[in-house]
Amino acid sequence: MSSEEEEKLQRISETSLYSAGVMQLAIGYCFRILCRHLRGENLLEMGPAEGVMTELLATTGKSMTVVEGSALFCNGLQARFPQAQVINALFEDFEPTEQFDTIIMGHVLEHVEDPVDILLRARGWLKPGGLIFAAVPNAQSLHRQAAVIMGMLPRVDALNAMDLHHGHRRVFNPETFRLAFTQAGLQVDIFGGYWLKPLANGQIESHWNSAMIEAFMQLGERYPDIAGELYIVASVPS
């Protein structure tokens, strides 16, 4: 791992917000979608950060491997999930000794230098019949479109303050998200969305109750192209 990348991951891990507020609720909703598609007995979670998704995955009783580039995050994960194999490595350096039934990439592909390369690697880590589940923020989300109209963003795929805080390199839209999978030779079995998000997180946390948040999580599944989050379930073509 280069010193520059190590410093970047350390900085992100020290100020991460994934386990706070509506972001944690969105990860919980993502897990509910993932549970519809989980298969087999062993899974790989890539880039778990603080382990919000990891904690939920642990309830499935499946064999878990997690690979995380931040040493700080890995220390916390090892302490909290002794039943999991926790590996501190960049995805580009990860060399698993087994294949997996399900590979999970929750908010991963917007961080990496080359998403297609990471998907190609993950394709090789799948067991026959296995699947990849990936979720990313959506550039076409209602709140980003509103930000452009209000002059807060120059365009919907521009990196905003929260993107920069988390170390995002890009914001996918539905077309570019699908394209990354097809370029990696993967078959997109399911494309969807969740969390129809009209406002910024802070505004929602200040004024919405849990029933409102749940309703808009579900509405995102009805209107995926403008939802706050996109997801894909993919497999190797037969």
Task: Compute the average pLDDT of residues 111-119.
Answer: 97
| Residue 130 is assigned to a structural domain of this protein | yes
Domain span at 46: 3-233
Say if residue 14's pLDDT is above 70.
no
Query: How far apart are alpha carbons 148 and 125 in whole angstroms?
Result: 39
Residue 132 pLDDT class (50, 70, 90 cuts): very high
Q: What pLDDT shows up at residue 171?
A: 98
Q: Half-sphere exposure of residue 51, counting CA atoms within 13 Å on the CB side?
A: 20
| Residue 175 is assigned to a structural domain of this protein | yes
| Residue 238 is assigned to a structural domain of this protein | no
Total Cβ atoms within 10 A of residue 214: 13
pTM for the whole structure: 0.94
Stretch among 14-23, 31-40, 55-64 having the lowest mean pLDDT: 14-23
- Using one digit for the tens of pLDDT, what is the confidence trace for 44-70? 999 999 999 999 999 999 999 999 999
Task: Compute the average pLDDT of residues 10-20.
Answer: 65
Q: What percent of the chain has pLDDT over 90?
A: 87
Task: Compute the average pLDDT of residues 224-237.
Answer: 98
Say if residue 133's pLDDT is above 90.
yes
Say if residue 7's pLDDT is above 80.
no
The DSSP result for 75-99, as a single string, is HHHHHH-TTSEEEE--GGG---SS-
Task: Compute the average pLDDT of residues 211-216.
Answer: 97
CATH number of the CATH domain containing 213 = 3.40.50.150
| Residue 69 is assigned to a structural domain of this protein | yes
Whole-number mean pLDDT of the chain?
Answer: 94
What does the chain come to in residues? 238
| Residue 116 is assigned to a structural domain of this protein | yes
Please state, in angstroms and as integers, the Cα–Cα distance from residue 85 to each residue in 42, 68, 77, 97, 129, following that order: 11, 11, 10, 12, 23
Q: Half-sphere exposure of residue 78, counting CA atoms within 13 Å on the CB side?
A: 11
Query: How many domains does the chain fold into?
Result: 1
